[in-house]
Chain A
Amino acid sequence: NAGVTQTPKFQVLKTGQSMTLQCAQDMNHEYMSWYRQDPGMGLRLIHYSVGAGITDQGEVPNGYNVSRSTTEDFPLRLLSAAPSQTSVYFCASSYSESSGRLFFGEGSRLTVL
């Protein structure tokens, strides 16, 4: 089983550029989410979705957009990258918002110069 797949695994951007981090899951999970991991700060929730067509903000949503047009995909968009968005990004999914059993992707390391 592929589980949760993130692409790309590494990316370098210049300030002001835009890009999309892709996330796909093949487990028919309703709930999907994006976290960022910064040194000394653990993982913080950016955005989440409880189903196709429904998204909401997490703890640190500024500078990021998401959409959920299908159950399988949950892309994270950076419209104008800033150095403060240099981080490792994780996508995670679970059967439902109340399940508490998250499956994580392998992470995407993003560097903004």
Chain B
Amino acid sequence: AQTVTQSQPEMSVQEAETVTLSCTYDTSESDYYLFWYKQPPSRQMILVIRQEAYKQQNATENRFSVNFQKAAKSFSLKISDSQLGDAAMYFCAYSYTGTASKLTFGTGTRLQVTL
């Protein structure tokens, strides 16, 4: 079975600084997706970024970028120029390409953004 591990329950960053959230996963598949979801206090799950395993290039979305290390099964999220609105729970998730909508989630990292 696939597992997703987020070893940082909480992280803190100052406004305008950069922070990196860690995620590791375990799978025997070679074709899969990896995701980062943001959950603000409103509870809404918001897709931040998605990476396809066959693509070597790291995905980026504005201030959000990933460091995808397939051999190490590592998928970290870097948030640059942190803003107060980035404060939220962040979940790493995995899915196999064939059933890409069935996600396995990590336990989440709570990010605080301070002035």
Contact = CB atoms under 8 A, between A and B. Distances in A.
A90 B45 contact: yes
Contacts of A42: 4, 91, 105-108
Contacts of B16: none
Give the interface centre of B50, B93, B100, B101 by most chain A CB atoms within 10 Å. B101
B84 interface: no
21 contacts: A31-B101, A33-B101, A35-B105, A41-B107, A42-B107, A43-B91, A45-B104, A90-B45, A92-B45, A92-B101, A94-B101, A97-B99, A97-B101, A98-B98, A100-B95, A100-B101, A101-B50, A104-B44, A104-B45, A106-B44, A107-B43
Contacts of B95: 100
A47 to B, nearest CB: 11
Interface residues of B, number: 24
B102 interface: yes
Contacts of B74: none
A43 B102 contact: no
B32 to A, nearest CB: 9
Contacts, number: 63
A99 interface: yes
A31 B95 CA distance: 14
Top 3 A-B residue pairs of the complex, sorted by shortest distance between their CB atoms:
A100-B100, A42-B105, A104-B45
A55 interface: no
Interface in B86-115: 91, 93, 95, 97-108
B62 interface: no
A96 interface: yes
Interface in A50-102: 58, 88, 90, 92, 94, 96-102
Given A31-B101, A33-B101, A106-B43, A100 B50 contact: yes
B47 interface: yes
Contacts of A41: 107
A70 B58 CA distance: 39
Interface centre among B98, B102, B107 (most CB of A within 10 A): B102
A106 B107 contact: no
A88 B101 contact: no
